[in-house]
Structure 1
Amino acid sequence: MDAVRTLLESQPLLTLFLTVAVGYVIGECSIKGVALGSGAVLFVGLAIGGFAPRSAPPALLGTLGLLLFLYGIGVQYGAQFFAGLSSTDGLKANAAAVLGVLGSGFVSLALGPLFGVKLDQALGLFAGAGTSTASLQAVLAVLKGEGAAVGYSVAYPFGVAGPILFLYLLSVALARRIDTPPAHLIETAEIALRNQAFVGLTFPELKARLPASLGIVAVRRAHHNQLPDDDLVMQTDDVLLATAMDRDELRKAAELLGELQPGRMMRSREDLDYLRVFASSRVVVGRPLGDIRFPDGMVCTIAHVRRGDADMLPTPGLILEFGDRVGLLIGSGQRDAVRRLFGDSIKGTAELSYISIGVGAALGLLAGLIPLPIPGVGKLSLGLAALLLVALYLGKMRRLGSLVWTMPLSANLVLRNFGLTVFLAQVGLSSGPKFFATIGLTGAAFLLYGAAILIALVCITAACCLWIFRLPFDATVGVISGATGNPAILAFANRIAPTDRPDVGYAMIFPSMTIVKILFVEIAAVIVGR
């Protein structure tokens, strides 16, 4: 064993990646649907760090990992975050989550005068109960001790498994059963124009009289398909190729305009062809569809956009992202030109701009150095919380000139999950010796403290959502998932509430609560630690 210990302590990078590998093997083990995921890396790091006390790599490596995680979160959820701040339901959801986070934070601070828990340990318990690695890093940076990592590692299992159990019990107690909604797939129909009230109108006038969610992507006249333009005047027996997310909406449109026709337009490829391409060119990525200009002579219109596993109607405000699959109606013989315009490279789904990442991260780090005066506290720098704020704003902007701030979803997931894993491994390895020394003295007490902090977090958040702000149940589980933070909780929330509201709630809440948790521990460390 001495030889193994010597090897681990002499090769910190080897130890780091061994920790990552073993941690993920353990993290994939599921007990009744609950798994620790990447959080298991922290516990493996603690075990190896306790066995080989000098095996930890430099702390800067962990900070870099956390930077990648926060930057990826920010650029992905920036649009949803700012939309949540401007909507009534979003403000209610954020208010409920803030009250829950602050309530759990004050419970953690009360552990000091009540039970003699040290401040760094109490704030570590708070960070672990909320599965907030960014808060842990903030405590470590301000208080310079290892007690925060100890508290974090003890409370983290409650932070993952506790909310899942709470959501299950909440759904049973409220007897809420939400059926799985139909898949977000675009439906098409060919409608013959027979209603004389619409004959003689120009195409824009026709569109103005139809629901905004109904698209008309092509017109068939005299046995020829064509793309509609502003000068097109509607005639009797024109056949309209209509698209919508709901089959009933197409049926109602057919009753309004005329009648459904058999699928002649889709079978005819003489005038218009259908092509699906990957969006990978910076000419189109990061731009609203309404701003995309096709070259002169190119006959092309966007019929639908598929992102991930969902179809989306091509509204003028929809912004294309790397890896989107775009369905197009194009003129005959223009396939190559259209592919060049959109890029059509599957490699684009994994590529990212290192210039954008470098500039964005540098701006965030510079913003984190600016001291902000806080009444009663003094001057306080936001650190990595400022990086997250900058990344959120860049994610909302999407692009600035030729710089595309967003990343393909697949590349974003890889980058931020790798960063989080490296951070957890480094913190675990460096805190292992202190962890075992402390847990031997405190016994089960820290476990109870972590449970109390978590109960305050989920109960206050749920009560505010359901009974004060009257949010729907599926939105509530998304808010609770965002307030607690771990993606495993969101995955379970999607099982008991299989709508899109849990994902939207998580996207609105997780970034803002990450910032609230960071600010809380930094301010508490300054005020209480005096």
Structure 2
Amino acid sequence: MDMLKTLLETQPLLTLFVTVALGYVVGEINIKGVSLGSGAVLFVGLAIGGWAPKSAPPALLGTLGLLLFLYGIGIQYGEQFFKGLSSAEGLKANIAAALGVIGAGFVSVALVHLFGVGLDQALGMFAGSGTSTASLQAAMAMLKGDGATVGYSVSYPFGVAGPILFLYALSALIKPKIERPPQKVMETAEIALRNPALIGLKLSDLIKRLPDEVAIAAVRRAHHNQQPAHDLVLEPDDVLLATATDPALLRETTSMFGELQPGRMTSHREDLDYLRVFASSKLVVGHALRDLRFPDGVDCSIAHVRRGDADMMPSQDLILEFGDRVGLLVNGAHHKTMRAFFGDSIKGTAELSFISIGVGAALGLLVGAIPIAIPGVGKMTFGLAALLLVALCLGRVRRFGPFVWTMPLTANLVLRNFGLTIFLAQVGIASGPKFFATVGVTGASFLLYGVVIALALLIITAAFCLWIFRMPFDLAVGVISGATGNPAILAFANRLAPTDRPDVGYAMIFPSMTIVKILFVQIAVVLIGG
């Protein structure tokens, strides 16, 4: 054992990756639907650090890991974040979550005066109860000690398991009736024009009468399929290829136009053929569909876009992302040209622009280093909170000139999960010795304090979501998940409410609540003092 201990203490990078591997093994253990996931890496790191005190990797590694995590979050959720701030529903969600987070913060600060808990330990419990590694880093950076890590590690388990149990109890109490929505899959209908009131109209005028969720992808006339030109004047027996993700809307459109004529268009592909391509080229990624300029001589239309597991209508303001699968209607002779135009590379959807990441992260760090005067508080730098805010702005812009700020979803997930794992492993190993020296005396009381802080966060947020703002249950559980922060909680919320609203609620408030938690820690340190 002494040889193993010596090996770990002389090879810190080896120790780091052993911690990561063992942490994920422990995190896979599932007890009645509750598992620690990546959070287990912290506990394995504490155990290894306590046993081999000199095995900690450099602190810069942990900071780099957290930077990657926050930057990836900001880039992915930028658009949803700003939509949340500009909509009434989003504002209510952010207010409810902010009140819950601030309420939990006040409870943690009260422990300093009521029970003599150290400020660093209290703020660590605040971070652990809210499973916020970013606010833990802020407490560690400002207080220059590892007391925050001790509080974080003791309260973190209930920070993960507590919200899951709370949501389970809340669902049992309310008994919401939530039906799983049908998967959005593009449906088509070939409709022969029989309605005299529509004959003689321009196609553009006809489209204005359709619901927004219905599109005309092609027209067949005189035995030839053709693109849906807006100035085309409709004639009797024209066959229109209508598309929608809602079958009911297609039935409504059919009754408006005339009658179904299945097979009239899809069985004849000499003029127009269907082609699906991956969006992986910088010529198209980050651009709205209205701004795409197809190669000269190519007559092409976009029938639909599939992102993830859902089909999307090709609205003119839809912005393409890496990995989108785009359905085209184009003559077969131009298939090769259009593949080259869109990129059509699965490999390309997993590539990153390291220039964009470097510029974006450097800009965020620069903004975070600027001291800002806050009345009553003094001058503060926002550090990684500013980096997250810059990343959110870049995620909203998506591209600027040659810089494509977004990245493929799969690459984003890998990058930020790897960063979070490295941060947890480094912090755990470095804090292990102090943790075991402290937890034997304060562990039980700290666990109780962590439960109280987490319950304050959950109860306040749920009360405002469900009973004051009267949000739907499926949206409310997403907001509660975002306020607590851990993805495992969101996964459980999705099982309780199998709609897309938990994800929407989470995305609208998770970035802003991360910033609120970081700022609360920083302001508390300045006002109360270290």
Q: Give the TM-score normalised by structure 1.
A: 0.99
Q: Could you list the per-position Cα deviations for residues 59-100 of structure 1 after superposition, in whole angstroms to 9, with x for gaps in the alignment?
A: 000000000000000000000000000000000000000000
Deviates more, 1:25-34 or 1:451-460: 25-34
Q: Does 1:320 align with 2:317?
A: no
Q: Does 1:455 align with 2:455?
A: yes
Aligned equivalents of 2:436, 2:302: Cα separation in 1:
60
**Cα shift at 1:332:** 2.7
Q: Could you list the per-position Cα deviations for residues 417-454 of structure 1 after superposition, in whole angstroms to 9, with x for gaps in the alignment?
A: 00000000000000000111110111310110000000
Aligned equivalents of 1:494, 1:193: Cα separation in 2:
43
SS in 2 for 1:219: strand
**Cα shift at 1:268:** 1.4
Aligned equivalents of 2:181, 2:29: Cα separation in 1:
30
Q: Does 1:200 align with 2:204?
A: no
Residue 145 of structure 2 corresponds to 145
Aligned equivalents of 1:154, 1:101: Cα separation in 2:
19
Whether the 8 Å CA contact 1:159–1:484 is kept in 2: the answer is: yes
Residue 367 of structure 1 corresponds to 367
Look up the equivalent residue of 2:301 and give its one-letter code.
T
Aligned equivalents of 1:2, 1:107: Cα separation in 2:
44
What do you get for the CA RMSD once the two structures are aligned? 0.8
Residue 14 of structure 2 corresponds to 14
Residue 521 of structure 1 corresponds to 521
Look up the equivalent residue of 1:449 and give its one-letter code.
Y
Look up the equivalent residue of 1:51 and give its one-letter code.
W
Residue 264 of structure 2 corresponds to 264
Aligned equivalents of 2:171, 2:230: Cα separation in 1:
52
Residue 130 of structure 1 corresponds to 130
**Cα shift at 1:296:** 2.1
Where does structure 1 lack aligned partners over 5 or more consecutive residues?
none
Look up the equivalent residue of 2:352 and give its one-letter code.
L
Equivalent positions of 1:400-411 (< 5 A) are 400-411=400-411
Q: Does 1:220 align with 2:220?
A: yes
Residue 171 of structure 1 corresponds to 171
Residue 25 of structure 2 corresponds to 25
Look up the equivalent residue of 1:325 and give its one-letter code.
R
Q: Could you list the per-position Cα deviations for residues 332-387 of structure 1 after superposition, in whole angstroms to 9, with x for gaps in the alignment?
A: 31110000100000011210100000000000000001111111110000000000
SS in 2 for 1:191: strand
Q: Could you list the per-position Cα deviations for residues 264-285 of structure 1 after superposition, in whole angstroms to 9, with x for gaps in the alignment?
A: 2112111101110100000000
Deviates more, 1:171-180 or 1:277-286: 171-180
Look up the equivalent residue of 1:239 and give its one-letter code.
V
Whether the 8 Å CA contact 1:188–1:242 is kept in 2: the answer is: yes
Look up the equivalent residue of 2:385 and give its one-letter code.
A
Aligned equivalents of 1:92, 1:456: Cα separation in 2:
18
SS in 1 for 2:359: helix
Look up the equivalent residue of 1:453 and give its one-letter code.
I
Equivalent positions of 1:468-487 (< 5 A) are 468-487=468-487
Residue 154 of structure 1 corresponds to 154
Residue 244 of structure 1 corresponds to 244
Residue 383 of structure 1 corresponds to 383
Whether the 8 Å CA contact 1:177–1:496 is kept in 2: the answer is: no
Deviates more, 1:403-412 or 1:108-117: 108-117
Q: Does 1:234 align with 2:234?
A: yes
Whether the 8 Å CA contact 1:171–1:177 is kept in 2: the answer is: no
Aligned equivalents of 2:38, 2:18: Cα separation in 1:
14
Aligned equivalents of 1:132, 1:464: Cα separation in 2:
22
**Cα shift at 1:263:** 2.4
SS in 1 for 2:276: strand
Residue 399 of structure 2 corresponds to 399
Residue 350 of structure 1 corresponds to 350
**Cα shift at 1:231:** 2.2
**Cα shift at 1:401:** 1.0
Aligned equivalents of 2:41, 2:496: Cα separation in 1:
28
Whether the 8 Å CA contact 1:177–1:497 is kept in 2: the answer is: no
Aligned equivalents of 1:56, 1:157: Cα separation in 2:
23
Aligned equivalents of 2:193, 2:76: Cα separation in 1:
43
Residue 287 of structure 2 corresponds to 287
Aligned equivalents of 1:450, 1:250: Cα separation in 2:
54
**Cα shift at 1:471:** 0.8
Aligned equivalents of 1:87, 1:276: Cα separation in 2:
34
SS in 1 for 2:98: helix
SS in 1 for 2:333: coil
Residue 441 of structure 1 corresponds to 441
Aligned equivalents of 1:355, 1:243: Cα separation in 2:
39
Where does structure 2 lack aligned partners over 5 or more consecutive residues?
none
Aligned equivalents of 1:66, 1:171: Cα separation in 2:
34
Q: How many residue pairs end up in the alignment?
A: 530
Aligned equivalents of 1:443, 1:219: Cα separation in 2:
72
Look up the equivalent residue of 1:137 and give its one-letter code.
Q
SS in 2 for 1:379: strand
Residue 110 of structure 2 corresponds to 110
Q: Does 1:338 align with 2:364?
A: no
Look up the equivalent residue of 1:121 and give its one-letter code.
Q
Residue 253 of structure 1 corresponds to 253
Look up the equivalent residue of 1:37 and give its one-letter code.
G
Residue 5 of structure 1 corresponds to 5
Aligned equivalents of 1:266, 1:509: Cα separation in 2:
44
Aligned equivalents of 2:178, 2:488: Cα separation in 1:
20
Whether the 8 Å CA contact 2:154–2:443 is kept in 1: the answer is: no
Look up the equivalent residue of 2:413 and give its one-letter code.
L
Equivalent positions of 1:31-70 (< 5 A) are 31-70=31-70
Whether the 8 Å CA contact 1:301–1:329 is kept in 2: the answer is: yes
Percent of matched pairs sharing the same residue: 74
Deviates more, 1:499-508 or 1:227-236: 227-236
Whether the 8 Å CA contact 1:192–1:239 is kept in 2: the answer is: yes
Deviates more, 1:110-119 or 1:389-398: 110-119
Look up the equivalent residue of 2:34 and give its one-letter code.
V
**Cα shift at 1:232:** 0.9
Look up the equivalent residue of 2:293 and give its one-letter code.
R
**Cα shift at 1:43:** 0.3
Aligned equivalents of 1:303, 1:402: Cα separation in 2:
28
Aligned equivalents of 2:192, 2:264: Cα separation in 1:
11
Residue 310 of structure 2 corresponds to 310
Look up the equivalent residue of 1:65 and give its one-letter code.
G
Aligned equivalents of 2:475, 2:231: Cα separation in 1:
45
Aligned equivalents of 2:236, 2:495: Cα separation in 1:
49
**Cα shift at 1:123:** 0.1
Residue 465 of structure 1 corresponds to 465
**Cα shift at 1:177:** 3.0
Q: Could you list the per-position Cα deviations for residues 369-412 of structure 1 after superposition, in whole angstroms to 9, with x for gaps in the alignment?
A: 11111111100000000000000000000000121000000000
**Cα shift at 1:5:** 1.0
Aligned equivalents of 1:32, 1:320: Cα separation in 2:
40
